Structure 1
Amino acid sequence: MTTAVPAGAARRTALPRPYLLWLAGAQAGLLGDAALSFALGWAASGYGGGAAGLVLTAVTVPRTVLVLLGGAVADRFGARRVMLVGDALMLVVTAGLALAVAGDRGVPLWLLVGAAGVTGTVDAFYLPASGSMPCRLVPADRLPRALALRQAGGQCAVLLGAPLGGLLVAGGGLAGAAAVDAASFGAVLLVLLRVRPGERPVPAPAVARQAGLVREAWSGVRLALGDPLLRAALLLTGAAAGALLPVVSLLGPLLARAHGWAAGTAGLVTAGQAAGVLAVAATVAWRGGLPRPGIGAAAGLCTASAGIVLLALSAGPAVAVAGGTVVGVGSGLFACHLGPLVLGGAPASHLSRVQALLTLVQSLALVLSTGLLGLLADATGAAPPALLCALATGAAGVAALATPALRRA
């Protein structure tokens, strides 16, 4: 005889301790990375805008080119092993960077580009492995709450990373930021040595292993394209990344300048967006997500679309901040409901490869749309591209509602 557990009680069941331990270490690592990223960009900006762009490109290019291979490596050899190697390597690199730039010596540009290139390369292997960890540590019924808690922590790391980086650069220069990041990698290593996730491997046939990592990476693409739910989720992710993410980061500051507002107002819009994401993530982490996550993700995009319209047509700072907050609420709804769909829909043998494909789709869509939206803003002002983003985001939400695989998930 079995006893039914009330839905509310199931939602509030504690998350597994190994997951919470890993998440604490991962957030410490994210905070250290955000601080160092600010410090690298600040140091590169001393050489001019072209140099700063070169450093950012040195991170993005290897991450984008190698991420599918990184997912295949994590699925074959184990996510935990890949993360241990990545953290150990970055500990050595950041500690070496701190020693190399200690004192009053100038920071050569080649060293900045080299550090950025190593970071992007390690990220290509680390991100797919890390993205699959919640599914390896948390039961499926608690996965939405686990991912929401991770989303909230990641948002906090992003918010605090730049101010922390500024303080570290002011107090100890690039060497101080690199030393703190090295310490954060050491903390993550200690956590990973204690946490042993169930890899849930599906033994691969000998023929598949002999095919090589490139074919294994391509098999993840074939799997996602052949599965109706994963295919729809990836397309929706690309649409959201291209139409939603550039709004606050690119168009928000341009709108503020067009209205003659101070930089602090643009910062408040960004803060409002972050507050909206945090509010939704905290709610989902505590109470759980909607019973139909596909509908929740679609509702998030429609909500974000309304916020973008409010931001684009705002005549005063208060309305702009309100618009940014609504955009954040919609973004949080989308991320907290689509993430469990992607992880839950991926077979255990392809967890990291599906995460790698998700990262690739986001990166490509964001890179393409950011450049095009920037050119359009130069030609027409910031409001028309913002309204175009609102239209695209709303259309993506409606399309998600009309997609059976997402609507019934």
Structure 2
Amino acid sequence: MTTATSDAIAGATAGAARAPLPRPYLLWLAGTQAGLLGDAALYFALGWAASAHGGGAAGLVLTAITVPRTVLVLLGGAVADRFGARRVMLAGDAVMLAATVALALVAGGPGTPLWLLVAAAAVIGTVDAFYLPASGSMPGRLVPADRLPRALALRQAGGQVAVLLGAPLGGLLVAAGGLSGAAAADAVSFGIVLLVLLRVRPGGGPEGTPAVAPSAGRSAGPAGLLCEAASGVRLALGDPLLRAALLLTGAAAGALLPVVSLLGPLLARAHGWTAGTAGLVSGGQAAGVLAVAGLVAWRGALPRAGAGAAAGLCTASAGTAVLALAAGPVAAVAGSVVAGIGSGLFACHLGPLVLTGTPSSHLSRVQALLTLVQSLALVLSNALLGLLADTAGAALPTLLCALATGAAGLTALANPTLRRA
């Protein structure tokens, strides 16, 4: 009798996981995809315009995006939980629509002044600090928990498509209309996202009622928001599952993300490969992530999400080691694909764990903390790995990334909270 009941529950859960995703989520995701493509094209155009002023100027533009995003993201999460994720996203899209229209008008002349590029980058970074936590919480507000793995996998697949198509699209737009053309295209994408958000109305706090009301005696102003941001940090660090997820996210960001973006090109140059080959290595990683995301969106995630995330890190470790030791382009691309498959497994299983393990009152704040952990880990590892590559070659830091990723995966498997999640 017990076995029959368990089988019935398992069958009902599997059936629910394969049920269609909610229409509001699919509509929101379609609008988000248009926004991601527009953003990717504009980022390429900004980088291209900044490169005309030299490497230092290009670095300054990137820093102008990263610094406000990192400094303000915890506050952005508190604002989204206090006033509603949808409201924050509507405000952010409206600001970016106005900013990109202004950029398209001002950048129409020959040559783009550096101050304009830095100002545009600072606006992007500031809006991102508030927008990213709100956007990251939306799947949890629009999709039932049993369908979250497929919903997040579909979003992951869309993000990879934007990565693959964004730079070529940006190149075409720059060739046709310069930075002004890319900004105008991004303005159109923000207009699309605004129209979609006006149609999508999740229930609960984001609809019109604040998701988090200031408690009695607590200031509703900046001081109160800072206290609420701190409460999100305390919640995440005090919860065993969220704490483990944060540590794994930091490990993955520090050891996986730099492999393709930083170390892959350095390995290609060390072997004397062409830029086209380096592009294939990068594309292999994106293809691996896209394949896993598509499969999870179609069939659903593994029953044990924690074990799936840990297995993803172990798989990515093996692929990274192959990439580090590859003597030819074929082996390097194969290693990159395997690393991408592992990255996809990790992201598609850890994301639902975080959303379902977070109270609805703190969704945006925990997403903000995840963003902060990723940013800090990536900034630190990029600097250290770049210095090590200069002194010892690119293969050694790539192997160290493989070892760190594998150690994180095995540690996650040994963690009972994650293993049983």
- TM-score bucket (shorter structure): over 0.9
Q: Is the 8 A contact 1:229 1:345 kept in 2?
A: yes
1:312 and 2:321 are equivalent in the alignment: no
Instruction: Give the distance between the partners of 2:187 and 2:198, measured in 1 at CA.
Output: 17
Q: Is the 8 A contact 1:144 1:340 kept in 2?
A: yes
* TM-score, normalization by structure 1: 0.97
Q: Is the 8 A contact 1:79 1:199 kept in 2?
A: no
Instruction: Give the distance between the partners of 2:87 and 2:203, measured in 1 at CA.
Output: 12
Instruction: Give the distance between the partners of 1:146 and 1:208, measured in 2 at CA.
Output: 36
Report matched runs for 1:198-277 at 5 Å: 198-200=203-205, 201=211, 203-208=213-218, 210=220, 212-277=224-289
Structure 2 counterpart of 1:18, one-letter code: P
Structure 2 stretches lacking a partner, 5+ long: 206-210
Instruction: Give the distance between the partners of 2:214 and 2:308, measured in 1 at CA.
Output: 35
Structure 1 residue 209: deviation in Å?
5.1
Q: Which residue of 1 aligns with 2:143?
A: 138
Q: Which residue of 2 aligns with 1:175?
A: 180
Instruction: Give the distance between the partners of 2:51 and 2:228, measured in 1 at CA.
Output: 40
Instruction: Give the distance between the partners of 2:344 and 2:387, measured in 1 at CA.
Output: 28
Instruction: Give the distance between the partners of 1:73 and 1:137, measured in 2 at CA.
Output: 19
Q: Is the 8 A contact 1:208 1:216 kept in 2?
A: no
Cα deviation, 1:18-53, whole Å, max 9, x if unaligned, reads 000000000100110000000000000000000000
Structure 2 counterpart of 1:14, one-letter code: P
Report matched runs for 1:76-91 at 5 Å: 76-91=82-97
How many residue pairs match? The answer is 407
Structure 1 residue 355: deviation in Å?
0.2
Report matched runs for 1:322-333 at 5 Å: 322-333=334-345
**In structure 2, do the counterparts of structure 1 residues 316 and 286 end up closer, same or farther at CA, with 3 Å as the change threshold?**
same
Structure 1 residue 186: deviation in Å?
0.2
Q: Which residue of 2 aligns with 1:357?
A: 369
Q: Which residue of 1 aligns with 2:208?
A: none
Cα deviation, 1:156-188, whole Å, max 9, x if unaligned, reads 011111000000000000000000000000000
Task: Give the 3-state SS of the residue equivalent to 2:217 in structure 1.
Answer: helix
Task: Give the 3-state SS of the residue equivalent to 1:289 in structure 2.
Answer: coil
* TM-score, normalization by structure 2: 0.95
1:35 and 2:41 are equivalent in the alignment: yes
Structure 1 residue 11: deviation in Å?
2.6
Which residue among 398, 404, 409 is the counterpart of 2:416?
A: 404
Report matched runs for 1:34-53 at 5 Å: 34-53=40-59
Structure 1 counterpart of 2:194, one-letter code: L
Q: Is the 8 A contact 2:93 2:193 kept in 1?
A: yes
Structure 1 stretches lacking a partner, 5+ long: none
Q: Is the 8 A contact 2:82 2:213 kept in 1?
A: no
Structure 1 counterpart of 2:367, one-letter code: Q
Which residue among 332, 339, 348 is the counterpart of 2:360?
A: 348
Cα deviation, 1:347-369, whole Å, max 9, x if unaligned, reads 01100000000000000000000
**In structure 2, do the counterparts of structure 1 residues 209 and 16 end up closer, same or farther at CA, with 3 Å as the change threshold?**
farther
Cα deviation, 1:319-366, whole Å, max 9, x if unaligned, reads 000000000000000000000011111101100000000000000000
Structure 1 counterpart of 2:381, one-letter code: S
Cα deviation, 1:73-115, whole Å, max 9, x if unaligned, reads 000000000000000000000000001112x432110000000
Report matched runs for 1:287-306 at 5 Å: 287-306=299-318
Name the Cα RMSD after superposition. 1.3
Instruction: Give the distance between the partners of 1:89 and 1:113, measured in 2 at CA.
Output: 17
Cα deviation, 1:270-320, whole Å, max 9, x if unaligned, reads 111111000000010111101111000000000000001100001111000
Which residue among 107, 114, 118 is the counterpart of 2:123?
A: 118
Q: Which residue of 1 aligns with 2:19?
A: 13
Report matched runs for 1:380-399 at 5 Å: 380-399=392-411
Instruction: Give the distance between the partners of 2:415 and 2:13, measured in 1 at CA.
Output: 27
1:75 and 2:75 are equivalent in the alignment: no
Q: Is the 8 A contact 1:83 1:130 kept in 2?
A: yes
Report matched runs for 1:95-106 at 5 Å: 95-102=101-108, 104-106=109-111
Instruction: Give the distance between the partners of 2:342 and 2:80, measured in 1 at CA.
Output: 32
Q: Which residue of 2 aligns with 1:338?
A: 350
